[in-house]
Amino acid sequence: MTRRDLLAGAVAVASTAAFGAAGATSARKAPAEKGAVKVSYSKLPRWRGFNLLEKFTLDRNQPFREEDFDIIAEWGFDFVRLPMDYRCWTDPNNPKQLKEAVLKEIDQAVQFGRSRRIHVCINFHRAPGYCVNPPREPLDLWSQEEALELCCYHWAAFAKRYKGIPN
């Protein structure tokens, strides 16, 4: 069984269970690129989709796969979350040195989503000083200024990089 077969089967089961047979094709009502979803505290979007784990841990650091976005869109879903480990794009000897080649892989995932009208949620699943998974972070985001400063540095770099990109 290939990854595509597994994902397609899981989507079929999930869409039938969650939406009924007819709902699977109507579940994706993503806005046109020009008309972004209007979000307020009283009207939140109802996205449906998947986690894509290519950058979930440092040891599995791979480019995101365009065919995953194709399958997700084909099956009528409109959301992906990219739970990522900051160590994937960070020089291990200098945590403020960001690896542009890896950041471009994330850019590519954002573009894959945009071109298919899939909302892409960038998630720092492991941030400097924080993670719920092993191994433990050497710093503590909640009690060490160094960790907070470093986490803010990374978050600011992403905010600057994706500023103005509707999603």
Q: Is residue 17 part of a domain?
A: no
Task: Give domain status of residue 6, yes or no.
Answer: no
Within a domain: 146: yes
- Stretch 115-137: mean pLDDT, rounded? 95
Residue 81 bridge partners (DSSP) = 51, 121
User: Does residue 20 sit within a domain?
Assistant: no
Q: Which two tokens stand for residue 96?
A: 């403020």
Does the residue 3 lie in any domain? no
Residue 78 falls within a domain, yes or no?
yes
**The total number of structural domains that make up the chain:** 1
Asked whether residue 40 is domain-assigned, the answer is: no
pLDDT of amino acid 9: 55
Tally of CB atoms within 10 A around 90: 19
Percent of the chain with pLDDT over 90: 70
For residue 94, report the phi and psi dihedrals to the nearest 5 degrees. Answer: -150, 95
Q: Rounded CA gap, 55 and 147, in Å?
A: 21
The tens digit of pLDDT for each residue in 78-93 reads: 999 999 999 999 999 9
**Which pair of structure tokens corresponds to residue 15?**
């869409």
| Structural domain contains residue 148 | yes
Q: Which domain holds residue 126?
A: 46-162
Place of tokens 């989709």: 49
31-56 mean pLDDT: 80
Q: Which residues contact 96 (CB under 8 A, 6 or more apart)?
A: 150, 153
- Residue predicted with more confidence, 123 or 8: 123
- Which two structure tokens, joined as six digits, stand for 118? 């899939």
